[in-house]
Amino acid sequence: MKHAIKIRFFAGLLLLSATGCDTQHTTYSAAEYVMFADSVSVNMIPQGQEYFAVPIATTKACDYDRNFGVEILDRNSTAIERLHYRLLSNTVTIPAGKLTTEVRVHADYDQLDSGDTLRFTLRLVMPEQLIWDLYGDTTQVGMVKSCPFSMADFSGWCIVTSTFLNAYPGVENQSIQRLIRTEPHPGKEHTVILHDWLFTGYDVELEFAPSDPAAPLVSMAPDQVLSDEQSVFGQINGDDRILVTHSPIYLSYFNACNRYVSLWIRVYVEDLGIPVGTVGNFYNILEWVSDEEAEYLQSNNGM
């Protein structure tokens, strides 16, 4: 019931008016609007989840219940109703005194494809005067399958593709890709050791955060050594160590269904703990492969 990606939320909007509606005349004033809280949302669907919620917001609280219909629009939809998902109800109620409600959607985990985001469009059925032209009465809802997490899926052979190697291959790398070995850290939960990650002789650790399926994030502890400076930069700017951590600018995440990590790193240099400078933020893809795939890459691609 959480959203991995949200575009447009009306927390501030709800404060525009806290006055009640006219109880003598059940008509709506020009300042009252009802809308979906997100114009676009992508929802992670874990196994066993009963439903996820599509939130609805209004600019006014009333002292009586308000009921609205919800319909599914075919336009721009790739998900099929009653195959991939179903609404638990085609009506919603904003209770008296409340500013929010939600549409509840059940997604069929077994029918979702692990490599795709399925989408459908919802529309609120309500009086026209409640529609705010700026935001409209529709929302596009996306569903992404969230597979169970296992450290075994992120152990073994791994293909690393790195923009850092494109910019700084050093004396060792002839390509932006490397085939490396990985293993679970013996003393740290949900942590994998990336042996010889970008340069031979330098291992780094990558930590997974699998507790929230809606936020399958990964991180790197700061001050891990990526390589020495001389063999990569051709000169020494600090203490001859290139340091790495996850980027503070971009999110890094893992996909348990397809066994890959999308990793943004920050690379920097220090001189005995004193910052010298940031080399930059670089994008990396880590894809775990079978022993057979790794053997093929070694034999045919020279990895």
pLDDT digits (tens, 9 = 90+) for 267-303: 999 999 999 999 999 999 999 999 999 999 999 888 8
Residue 115: predicted pLDDT: 76
Residue 21: predicted pLDDT: 61
Residue 70: predicted pLDDT: 97
Instruction: Give the three-class secondary structure for 298.
Output: helix
Whether the per-residue pLDDT at 20 is higher than 80: the answer is no
Q: How far apart are CA 286 and CA 32, in angstroms?
A: 49
Whether the per-residue pLDDT at 29 is higher than 60: the answer is no
Residue 75 confidence class, pLDDT cut points 50, 70, 90 = confident
Whether the per-residue pLDDT at 82 is higher than 90: the answer is yes
The answer to whether the CB of 23 falls within 8 A of the CB of 63 is: yes
Q: State the average pLDDT over residues 115-144.
A: 94
Q: Residue 45, by phi and psi: left (phi above 0), alpha (psi -120 to 50) or beta?
A: beta
Residue 214 confidence class, pLDDT cut points 50, 70, 90 = confident
Residue 302: predicted pLDDT: 83
Q: How far apart are CA 54 and CA 36, in angstroms?
A: 8
* Predicted structure pTM score: 0.73
The answer to whether the CB of 36 falls within 8 A of the CB of 126 is: no
Whether the per-residue pLDDT at 27 is higher than 80: the answer is no
Per-residue pLDDT of 189-198, as tens digits, reads 999 999 999 9
Residue 14: predicted pLDDT: 37
Whether the per-residue pLDDT at 231 is higher than 80: the answer is yes
Residue 215 confidence class, pLDDT cut points 50, 70, 90 = confident
Q: How far apart are CA 96 and CA 146, in angstroms?
A: 36
